[in-house]
Amino acid sequence: MSQDNIFREVDEELRSERMRTLWRRFGPYVIGAAVAVVLVVAINEGWSWWRNSTAAQASDEYYAALKLADGGDLAGAQAELTKIEGQGGGYATLAKFKQAALLAKDGKKSEAVAAYDALASGESNVRLRELALVLAGNLLVDTGTLNDVEQRVGSLNTTDSPLRNSAREAIGLAQYKAGDLTAAKATFDAIMTDPIAPRELQNRAELYIAQIVAEGGAAAATVAADTPAPAADATAAPAADATPAPATDAPATEAPAAAAPAADAPAADAPAAESANPLANSSSMMQMMTPAPQAPAEQPAATTEPATPAQAPATAN
């Protein structure tokens, strides 16, 4: 039994020696890892606390800026938003968007478009970049051209873009402003047929289409009303040319009848001949030409002598 105890003690001593050797070898690493874990947890908690406190402060400042803007103090609101922009984080991005919106509200639309363009080129989030482009395009509907709007939102008018219908609305309004009613109606029709388009946006598109259809019908009616006018003028022109032609031959046929002292009969026959022609009463040009035959009536009244063929051209003029 004593021999077994000796072997057991030797084994325990060897085991203890191995444990001490392992500890001396890996103990510092274990301690360092434990300290690192504690430090990481402490730093994470400290960072979370700082971030939450900063976000809470930025939130208070942001809503204070909104209250100033709602109260009409745009300059004060912009000053508060500028301070938030320097803090970074999500509220800084919101402050930049709100800054651009306040510039547009203050009538500085060109500066607002520049602010949205800066957001579209500087933001890391692709959806925020697209939102900035749409907002810039909406402003350019009033202040820019169709090309300006398409440069911003043309790339969003695709089936895989979640903002495609907002982009279509801006493009359609720009097309309507440019006078391209056909293209504008096609753009608004795309909104109406898109299954994911918001109902409110579809309602607006429906109103746009109704306006375009009404203007197109009015334009067609105007064209239809104006179409006969050139035809009447074109027809009246030959009639006007044809009427003086018999007047040049009148001295050859009516010279014997002009021997009578009363020279009013030929003047009365000329208006009667013209009134028989319906084209003479269809336009103002023919009415203006009607007094021309009165010249022969005044010339015989000045003399009792018969009209001669040499005087007939003067009466025609």
SS3 of 64-107: HHHHHHHCCCHHHHHHHHHHHHCCCCHHHHHHHHHHHHHHHHCC
- Tens digit of pLDDT for each residue in 233-262? 444 444 444 444 444 444 444 433 333 333
Alpha-carbon distance of 73 to 79, in angstroms, equals 10
Sign of CA dihedral 47, 49, 53, 56: positive
Sign of CA dihedral 80, 84, 90, 93: positive
Of 76, 74, 123, the closest CA to residue 97 belongs to 123
Residue 134 to residue 167: CA distance in whole angstroms: 6
* CA-closest candidate to residue 248, choices 199, 183, 296, 179: 296
Q: How far apart are CA 295 and CA 293, in angstroms?
A: 5
Count of the separate structural domains present in the chain: 2
**Domain encompassing residue 190:** 107-219
Residue-wise pLDDT tens digits, 30-45: 899 999 999 999 999 9
If asked whether residues 117 and 207 sit together in one domain, one would say yes
Given 175, 190, 219, which residue is the final one in a domain? 219
- CATH number of the domain encompassing residue 143: 1.25.40
Whole-model pTM over 0.75: no
> What is the model's pLDDT at position 8?
77
Q: What are phi and psi of 123, to 5 degrees?
A: -80, 145
User: Could you tell me the sign of the dihedral formed by the alpha carbons of 117, 121, 124, 127, in that order?
Assistant: positive
Of 194, 219, 244, the last residue of a domain is: 219
113 in Cβ contact with 143 (< 8 Å): yes
The predicted model gives 260-283 an average pLDDT of: 38
In a domain, 30, yes or no: yes
